[in-house]
Structure 1
Amino acid sequence: MKITSALQKLGVTNPLIYGCMGLGGGWNQNPVSKDDIRQANEVIDTALESGFQLFDHADIYTFGKAEQVFGEVLKSRPELKKQMVLQSKCGIRFDAGTTPKRYDFSKEWISSSVEGILERLNIEHLPILLLHRPDVLMDVEEIAEVFSELQKQGKVGQFGVSNMSANQMQQLQSKMKSPLVANQLEMSLSKLDWLEQSILNNVGNAPGHSFTAGTIEYCQSQDVQIQAWGSMSQGLFSGRNVNDESQAVQQTAEKVRRIAAEKETSTEAVILAWLMKHPANVMPVVGTTNTDRIKAAAQATKIELSRDQWYELYVSARGEELP
């Protein structure tokens, strides 16, 4: 698959992204422990040895501890910084007692979020910053202004978004001086809305879906790297017990196992290769902290599914034949 020019300029040649959401000891208020740091070292080493180059963070992951523990590793082993490209996300604010969970793309919040990210990760420059979820109160001129300032200050290199539609991206891009380089979306063999929005075009009585039509095509035409979060479906097709799942899930899991055996690879590799087969050049985010599964996922870059195998898995996962 092709990696966009913006990411290639950063040195990214491997299409797999390591997602750091599971680091830091869990979604609690416990401080980072020695065991958390040990785990982070093992995970980072395994990911790097398996070929991962781009590491994905967000300021909210395990309440900031994922970035903090990663930063502890980089503090003790600064040579690792040259072996990786880091990205993080901001814009989600949790319940603060008097205010609910909300999204905040204000200049003040983005600026303070970047300061926190840099401090926790123990870095002075963040190669890529993504806006995490669309803020319906966003002022695109204000966002463009703070983006420009962060670039001039050398704190952030490139900008992107997450969970945004084509129209939202166009609106934001219209005020920005530099191009958006990525859009991170939920995409997997169990989350098919990104495909259904195309297949169900002009189909009467078709079931609804939650994906905005044209987003994939916009990203392709504008050289925006699509990144897939949730890409491994939490093990649904790669080892999890599916006895209580639907017939579609059970038969798809069996097909994944069969194809993996035929190709002498892992089931994780098959489901990630399925994503990467799409011409949108999807970069899957692999979020497991299990080192064996990280190694298994890395095998995806060594195989390619045929057109027939791709459609076999797609049709099986959707649970009914195509219209």
Structure 2
Amino acid sequence: MKTLKLGTSSLDVPVVAVGCMRINSLDRQAAERFVQTALDEGANFFDHADIYGNGTCEEIFADAVHMSSSVRERLILQSKCGIRPGTFDFSKEHILASVDGILKRLKTDYLDVLLLHRPDALVEPEEVAAAFDELEQSGKVRHFGVSNQHPRQIDLLKKYVKQPLIANQLQLSITNATMITSGFNVNMENAEAVNRDGGILDYCRLNDITIQPWSPFQFGFFEGVFLDNPKFPELNRKIDEVAEHYGVSNTTIAIAWLLRHPAHMQPVTGTTNVERLRDCIRASDITLTREEWYGILLAAGNKLP
């Protein structure tokens, strides 16, 4: 699989990340097959969060991969922290405790990447900086990033945090693409011209922060997938047409659409189906034409001004 540099780091990572949010839906044998399929396909970047399955997803993954020092050398592990029941928490105490729990469940001594999961309205960036320093100095975390944050929130952290923030995980799909479409509705009076995210797409490109699209097949906020959905007939006709041209599945084209963007994004899959996972990974080998990319964008109901 093709790789990219994650942000300003030296990490060479697969262009498709394997999300493990639903791995707890699999039995032991299926989980082992899922993880091994990813590794066989060159997809060795696994995305976790301490809240996925209340921590069980990390435990199941560690068992499924048969974690050991030799296995760990083959993996790139990312996890997220900062969400507690009923609150978000970027305090130093919570970040440090969360990482200790993550490492224990994953049966490893370190994370390659730690992301702050959802913006904490009560964030004290000095505490985040102190936590990151301690985690880096102890060797528990090698790289840091954020998730679901807009430019000013990142700038606030960067004022205090000395480590580069190399990734920002954001919801993005063909049907949830306002961070893209608002960019060509500048100075217009239509609804699409509303800047809802502070220009996060261009901000990440300017600051060499890798965008990791999550829920790449979803419409709305976990309302369902758009592929083969009768709510999106024109979009599915167009995706199927492009998929037939390349001899791949519609799943592959949906991921290839994200990879075609010059921001060099790293989509995070959410499937636990090994065939769909393979279809996602195949997108690494396809580069859509400009006409195909725009055709899909317009078929999703977007309009050019």
Aligned position for 1:224 = 209
Quote the RMSD (CA, aligned, Å): 2.0
Deviation at 1:279, TM superposition (A): 1.2
Q: Are residue 56 (structure 1) and residue 38 (structure 2) matched?
A: no
- Closer/same/farther in 2, CA of residues 208 and 221 from structure 1, 3 Å limit: closer
Of residues 159-168 and 41-50 in structure 1, the stretch that sits farther from structure 2 once superposed is 41-50
Residue 60 of structure 2 is matched in structure 1 by 69
Contact 1:2 1:281 in 2 (8 A): no
CA-to-aligned-CA distance 1:77-132 (integer Å, 9 cap, x gap):
653322220000000111xxxxxx11000011101000000000000111100000
Identity of aligned residues (%): 38
Instruction: Tell whether 2:102 aligns with 1:111.
Output: no
Residue 38 (structure 1) aligns with: 29
Distance 1:21 1:5, change over 3 A: closer
Structure 2 residue aligned with 1:90: 81
| 1:9 match: secondary structure | coil
**Aligned residue type for 2:42:** G
Which residue of structure 1 lines up, in the alignment, with residue 109 of structure 2? Answer: 124
The residue type equivalent to 2:262 in the other structure is P
Taking structure 2 as the reference length, the TM-score comes to: 0.92
Cα separation, partners in 2 of 1:7 and 1:265, compared to 1, 3 Å: farther
Equivalence map 1:141-156=2 (5 Å): 141-156=126-141
C-alpha separation in 2, matches of 1:264 and 1:205: 38
1:151 CA drift (Å): 0.5
Distance 2:206 2:22 in 1: 33
Q: Distance in 2 between matches of 1:36 and 1:211?
A: 40
Q: Distance in 1 between matches of 2:8 and 2:32?
A: 25
Distance 2:61 2:299 in 1: 39
Residue 320 of structure 1: how far off its partner (Å): 4.7
The gaps in structure 1 that reach 5 residues or longer are 26-34, 95-100
Distance 1:36 1:208, change over 3 A: farther
CA–CA separation in structure 2 for the residues paired with 1:310 and 1:200: 18
Distance apart, 1:230 and its partner CA: 0.5
Distance in 1, Cα, partners of 2:97 & 2:278: 36
For the 8 Å contact 1:160–1:183, the answer to whether it is kept is yes
Q: What SS does the aligned partner of 1:217 have?
A: helix
Residue pair 2:6, 2:166 contacting (<8 A) in 1 also: no
Query: Quick one: distance in 1 between partners of 2:6 and 2:174?
Result: 27
Instruction: Give 1:9's aligned residue.
Output: 10
**Secondary structure class of the residue paired with 1:133:** coil
Extract unaligned runs of 5+ from structure 2: none
Q: 1:290 aligns with which of 273, 279, 286?
A: 273
Counterpart in 2 of 1:30?
none
Q: Does 1:257 align with 2:264?
A: no
Aligned-partner SS, 2:4: coil
Equivalent residues in 2 for 1:201-220 (5 A)?
Answer: 201-207=186-192, 211-220=196-205
The count of aligned residue pairs is 300
* Structure 1 residue 74 displacement after superposition: 4.0
Does the C-alpha gap of structure 1 residues 75 and 236 become closer, same or farther in structure 2, counting only changes over 3 Å? Answer: closer
Instruction: State the TM-score, normalized to the length of structure 1.
Output: 0.88
